[in-house]
Structure 1
Amino acid sequence: MSRTTTWNARELLRGAQQEANARLLRVMSEEEGMSTVEYAIGTIAAAAFGAVLYTVVTGESIPDALTGIIEKALNTSV
């Protein structure tokens, strides 16, 4: 092989390696789909919290406690 052929082969390999590194960096740094997953998890968490809150508020203990607080406040002498 001549020096020119060897030099061209090295340049081609170097260019290919740089391009491969650039592609790898782009793939590793892309975050497509991440926001969709985050929104889905947030929505599920909010729905679960809403279900728990609804269960607590519609249970018997909360209205009884609120009624007791209101009766106590209305029966307090000033």
Structure 2
Amino acid sequence: MLKKLRVLTESDGGMSTAEYAMGTLAAVALAAVLYIVLSGDVAKDGLTSIIEQAFSAEP
């Protein structure tokens, strides 16, 4: 049983082309979602507020 498990776990030679394609597609989709979220007014207002608070804080 242990030998069979070892063969199954050690025989992976890396990702196949299909797995690379799916990983790339997922990364592009995540980048698109982040772009849409961060380019919106809510994100800009929130980031501006955080930066203004950081600069207005007294040491």
Short-chain TM bin: 0.5 to 0.7
Q: Over aligned residues, Cα RMSD in angstroms?
A: 2.0
2:37 alignment counterpart: 56
User: Larger helix proportion, structure 1 or 2?
Assistant: 1
What is the DSSP-based 3-state SS (H/G/I as helix, E as strand, rest coil) of the residue aligned with 1:52?
Answer: helix
Quote the residue 1:17 is aligned against: none
Instruction: Report the structure number with the largest CA radius of gyration.
Output: 1
Aligned residues: percent identity? Answer: 53
Q: Which consecutive aligned stretches of 4+ in structure 1 deviate over 3 angstroms post-superposition?
A: none
In structure 2, the gaps of 5 or more residues are: 1-14
How many residues get paired?
Answer: 47
Which amino acid in 2 is paired with 1:55? I
Aligned partners of 2:54 and 2:28: how far apart in 1? 34
Distance 1:41 1:73 in 2: 40
Higher relative contact order (CA closer than 8 Å, sequence separation 6+): 2
Q: TM-score, normalised by structure 1?
A: 0.52
Q: Secondary structure at the match of 2:16?
A: helix
- 5+ residue gaps, structure 1, are 1-33
